[in-house]
Structure 1
Amino acid sequence: MLMTGAQAVVAGLKAEGVELVFGYPGGAALNLYDALYDSGITHILARHEQGAAHAADGYARSTGKVGVCLATSGPGATNLVTGIATANMDSVPMVFITSQVGTSLIGKDSFQEADITGITTPITKHNFLVKRPQDLMKTVKEAFYIARTGRPGPVLIDIPKDITGMEGDFTYPESINLRGYHPLFEGDPSKIEELAAAIKKAKKPMVFVGGGLRIAGAWSEFASFIEKTGIPVVSSLMGLGCFPADHELYLGMLGMHGTYTANQSVTQCDLLIGIGVRFDDRVTGLVSKFAPEALIVHMDIDPAEINKNVRTDIKILGDLKWSLPLLSQMAEPGDIAAWQKQVLAWKQERPLRFEENGDVIKPQSVVKAISDITEGSAFLVTDVGQHQMWAAQYYNSKKPRRFITSGGLGTMGYGLPAAIGAQLGNPDETVWAIAGDGGIMMNIQEIATAVEHQLPIKVVVINNQGLGMVRQWQRIFYDQRYSCSRYGTETDLAKVAEAFGAKGIKVQEPGELIPALQEANNYCGPVFIDVLVCDQENVLPMVPAGAPIDQMIGG
């Protein structure tokens, strides 16, 4: 069919089932945006390319679909870099399409030229520079296939402006075969037999679940395995919600800000089954003391993760949709009644706790109140910092894909635009965002996007008048030398939100908190709550950097 290169790209997006894209136009992208004009694809205009990237990311994480983001050349493309790196670290399926200067201008330091494929090579699953119009549709097909299969991740397509303007007879390929890229779905059943034998033999087994379970969509298969074996469960930050927080066998998050029970249980277990995890340094602490007595099993789709951070005794490669049902079929519960009794005693004796104070608002109480109001079933999107860890600790997430946060990269400024993406992807659901007063300022312009589309997101800023996590480390490890971690002026964030057209609420007294949250919950448009909290509160428990995870401050 005769069409321009830009029309071919849009036709490819429609063939992949894309209904919604996020982006920001510019000169080199005008052909593509002209093709979008009457395409039927909805385009969400962010107020900054980084905001568009995070919004597409939130859309992808909350729906399981591929998020799509568009930008122009040069600074438009480079403004995507943080969003691309965020998606790459957390294995989010995304396709980024950037426009490039004309082919005759590439490599000549032309106006708004940047080598975005070179820049993003380390932070994408794959990227393309399209040099011929006949390659456009095949490239779009390959990009979506790579992004969503195997271990998902971001793929970038860079297209020179003249390529999008050329006419040709384009046909979208029905199938592709990429040499050297054949994601493994089914692995070696004998390894599952080996694990089943280890489960039967173990006296103190633990399961450690991560974001890979959410990505695979295998949470029901996982629940069946736990119900059959009775093995206690701990989670990484990215795995929150994959197993209900109110289940008796759930012991909480593992690692630097994990629960006492989770950290002690993993330290003392004799079998640790890692399912869809990376064994990140924030989880392991001092690697030589991590699960020192355990036989360690790693179930993952990505062979690059096996033995990368911790020794692995049994490796099970393959999609969790394949391995978990087979494991449930083969596994038989061992004699673990004494172990269950021990971990549940720790859970009862050493729960997460904080001291209420009638004179100030404690940040933990804000998260707990949101958890109570939503019954742990809303979409909860966080920014990065102390509030993120309090959310992980005190929001009792009960459903998968509903706790959305930047884990691996720890990107401040992620929360607000990601909440916008989650709301657009789930228009009939309730979306709450929790941010700090530091991170919210990094993409605060996206309030305008939420107002334009009248998205009913509820944004709660836990305002401790400074960079809370930085100040916590300075308080504990730097003799309270608070270098550059407090602002010289205070900003009335509720008024800022009102200036954008959102509803703004300021909360300064403990008695104002619950009525404000209830008002927000019932409000049909974007609402922004600025909650002034105690600025001396630390996230506890805390494992100091380089220490074993059972050596917790405030544990």
Structure 2
Amino acid sequence: MNTAELLVRCLENEGVEYVFGLPGEENLHVLQALKHSSIKFITTRHEQGAAFMADVYGRLTGKAGVCLSTLGPGATNLMTGVADANLDRASLVAITGQVGTDRMHIESHQYLDLVAMFAPVTKWSTQIVRPSNTPEIVRRAFKLAQIEKPGAVHIDLPENIAAMSVVGKPLRIDQREKVYASFQSISRAAEAISQAANPIILVGNGAIRAQASDALTKFARTLDIPVANTFMGKGVIPYTDRLALWSVGLQQRDHISCGFDHTDLVIAVGYDLIEYSPKRWNPDGTTPIIHIDQTPAEVDSSYIPLAEVVGDIADSLEEILKRADRTGKSDPYAIHLRDEIWTDYEEYAHDDGTPIKPQKLIYDLRQVMGPEDIVISDVGAHKMWMARHYHCDRPNTCLISNGFAAMGIALPGAIAAKLVHPNRRVVAVTGDGGFMMNAQELETALRVGTPFVTIIFNDGGYGLIEWKQHNHFGESNFVHFSNPDFVKFAESMGLKGYRVESTLDFIPTLKEALAQEVPAVIDCPVDYQENLRFSQKAGDLNCSI
């Protein structure tokens, strides 16, 4: 066999189901090997879409999603999605074609040093230069991509190496053992939790990756400690739980900010600083912190834990629970804060304003979607509202990119979500700006048979930037654009297209769209004056302790 065939056998050995990508001259041998493989190749319309699909596949499964491009422009197109996976802590392996090694020492058509280019946005970037090393490289790539903190890895395969004959076989996959925290750190954490008057739990996506949702919920309920989640930690505790304070992470103050002002101990569980800087909730670095995660704490002047409990998260929570004693201690303010948050949420239940307020769209979306259904948010003004108003019963049912936070992820990400969970309903929530960045992947969705609904929050501009411009300067510049007729756009591809003109139309339209056997697009004009109203409200927020 040749190197490309050995590479594909190694991918099969890793349990790869899909490779997302585009064909190119320099990856011909890999494509030919995939043709005779159990792996399904998903031909996308842009390499960025392929990387986003692999990104979301990795986040939902914990196994590395795989994307493939050719050299040069194909590889540069791939980079945004690869970087997103790396900073969102999603397992991904990117494979690029490359010129032959005999052309690398001179100026050559479409040649870039891809190993160097991918190095800053991956955990490891390498090139196969000896065919016999292929099994070692692939095994190391998947191991690095999947261990904590997971991320992206890049493998570059020159076309002459891909064609060379080789004898070899995939390496055996070593079974990872759980790592347990020291009893000393567990005891320190339990003592601090026992003594705290009003602790709060801050939980991030690391707890979801560790499958620690049940342990976290039991921990919070037994010790009667309220829980706030990051954007990427949604669903780790059911949003209906009396201790759930919902999402934290907006750059402006919100009700949940009062909870962090009030606390005397933050218990950070699977929390990642890249999502929401501790300088926003602990600006002076004076709030005591317990760090519970599978990896040690990052260094930050506002995040210096008094105890680092490093090991399996579920086990750590169980062991701390055995030692912590909060008998007779409760925090009535947390219940009061929960009531304020819930009242604010329900305020939009019967709103019938036109254009539709983003809060109302999201409230109604939650009424239609089941507890296991999946919503993927793009990046833009709607993302802030999704983070604040779309709440979850289960982990990984609302996916938000909040590490790299790349626009354009929702639509291709929804394809991956539907491939992973074909029996669940999937909705991509996007702005008109993000939608047009990867709208071409709707053709991919139709071709590969992944029916889902795309809801476009349509305001004719880059709403989040306009929001920030108004906050900074009192005016906006260079953010407005025109759009195609999204209904006709969808129909031109053989999809279903809808336009919602009133709040009364949205729920029946969404239900009809979800029942279709092809992808559907719903164009929803939104009233983003709510952005400025929220800024005013946040500025006037007083914590009633």
Shift in Å, 1:46: 0.8
1:460-475 to 2 correspondences below 5 Å: 460-475=455-470
* 1:69 matched residue in structure 2: 67
Shift in Å, 1:325: 2.7
Q: What secondary structure, in the 3-state scheme, does the structure 1 residue paired with 2:86 have?
A: helix
Is 1:478 the equivalent of 2:473? yes
* 1:241 matched residue in structure 2: 235
Q: Distance between the aligned counterparts of 2:536 and 2:38, measured in 1?
A: 51
* 1:327 matched residue in structure 2: 320
Distance 1:321 1:404, change over 3 A: same
Structure 1: state its 5+ residue gaps: 545-549
* 1:222 matched residue in structure 2: 216
Distance 1:554 1:108, change over 3 A: farther
1:39-54 to 2 correspondences below 5 Å: 39-54=37-52
1:81-96 to 2 correspondences below 5 Å: 81-96=79-94
CA contact (8 A) 1:16 1:144 kept: yes
Give the counterpart letter for 1:398 in structure 2. D
Shift in Å, 1:150: 2.5
Q: What secondary structure, in the 3-state scheme, does the structure 2 residue paired with 1:167 have?
A: coil
Distance 1:543 1:85, change over 3 A: farther
Distance 1:240 1:108, change over 3 A: same
* 1:388 matched residue in structure 2: 383
* 1:441 matched residue in structure 2: 436
Q: Judge which range, 281-290 or 49-58, deviates more.
A: 281-290
* 1:547 matched residue in structure 2: none
Distance 1:272 1:250, change over 3 A: same
Distance 1:109 1:376, change over 3 A: farther
Distance 1:151 1:280, change over 3 A: closer
* 1:38 matched residue in structure 2: 36
* 1:299 matched residue in structure 2: 292
CA contact (8 A) 1:284 1:290 kept: no
Shift in Å, 1:257: 5.5
CA contact (8 A) 1:57 1:67 kept: yes
Is 1:349 the equivalent of 2:345? no
Is 1:397 the equivalent of 2:392? yes
CA contact (8 A) 2:226 2:243 kept: yes
Q: Distance between the aligned counterparts of 2:270 and 2:39, measured in 1?
A: 34
Q: What secondary structure, in the 3-state scheme, does the structure 2 residue paired with 1:30 have?
A: helix
Give the counterpart letter for 2:344 in structure 1. L
Give the counterpart letter for 1:122 in structure 2. P
Q: Judge which range, 257-266 or 161-170, deviates more.
A: 257-266
Q: How many residues align?
A: 539
Q: Distance between the aligned counterparts of 1:253 and 1:274, measured in 2?
A: 14
* 2:511 matched residue in structure 1: 518
Deviation readout 1:140-183 (Å, 9 max, x if unpaired): 11111111112111111111111111111112222579xxxx99
Give the counterpart letter for 2:160 in structure 1. D
Structure 2: state its 5+ residue gaps: none
Which of the numbers 151, 154, 157 marks the counterpart of 2:152?
Answer: 154
Q: Distance between the aligned counterparts of 2:404 and 2:39, measured in 1?
A: 30
Shift in Å, 1:421: 0.7
Identity of aligned residues (%): 33
Q: What secondary structure, in the 3-state scheme, does the structure 1 residue paired with 2:9 have?
A: helix
Which of the numbers 238, 245, 251 marks the counterpart of 1:251?
Answer: 245
Shift in Å, 1:232: 0.5
Q: Distance between the aligned counterparts of 1:110 and 1:483, measured in 2?
A: 42
Q: What secondary structure, in the 3-state scheme, does the structure 2 residue paired with 1:413 have?
A: coil
Shift in Å, 1:466: 1.2
Q: Distance between the aligned counterparts of 2:252 and 2:317, measured in 1?
A: 25
Distance 1:96 1:433, change over 3 A: same
Shift in Å, 1:62: 1.8
Shift in Å, 1:509: 2.5
Deviation readout 1:338-370 (Å, 9 max, x if unpaired): x1x211112213543466343431121111111
* 1:164 matched residue in structure 2: 162
CA contact (8 A) 1:208 1:273 kept: yes
Give the alignment's TM-score, normalised by structure 2: 0.93
Q: What secondary structure, in the 3-state scheme, does the structure 1 residue paired with 2:267 have?
A: strand
Give the counterpart letter for 1:234 in structure 2. A
Which of the numbers 501, 515, 520 marks the counterpart of 1:527?
Answer: 520
Q: Distance between the aligned counterparts of 2:344 and 2:128, measured in 1?
A: 53
* 2:140 matched residue in structure 1: 142
RMSD: 2.4
Q: What secondary structure, in the 3-state scheme, does the structure 1 residue paired with 2:522 have?
A: strand
CA contact (8 A) 1:184 1:301 kept: no
Q: Distance between the aligned counterparts of 2:401 and 2:333, measured in 1?
A: 33
Deviation readout 1:408-444 (Å, 9 max, x if unpaired): 1111111100111111111111111100011111111
CA contact (8 A) 1:257 1:543 kept: no
Which of the numbers 195, 198, 201 marks the counterpart of 1:204?
Answer: 198
Q: What secondary structure, in the 3-state scheme, does the structure 2 residue paired with 1:396 have?
A: coil
Q: Judge which range, 184-193 or 157-166, deviates more.
A: 184-193
Q: Distance between the aligned counterparts of 1:276 and 1:77, measured in 2?
A: 32
Q: Judge which range, 274-283 or 185-194, deviates more.
A: 274-283
Give the alignment's TM-score, normalised by structure 1: 0.92
Q: Distance between the aligned counterparts of 1:290 and 1:543, measured in 2?
A: 25
Shift in Å, 1:329: 2.8
Distance 1:240 1:554, change over 3 A: farther
Distance 1:399 1:41, change over 3 A: same
* 1:57 matched residue in structure 2: 55
CA contact (8 A) 2:116 2:125 kept: no
* 1:274 matched residue in structure 2: 268
CA contact (8 A) 1:98 1:158 kept: yes
Shift in Å, 1:81: 0.9
Q: Distance between the aligned counterparts of 1:107 and 1:514, measured in 2?
A: 60
Q: Distance between the aligned counterparts of 1:473 and 1:258, measured in 2?
A: 11
Which of the numbers 117, 126, 129 marks the counterpart of 1:128?
Answer: 126
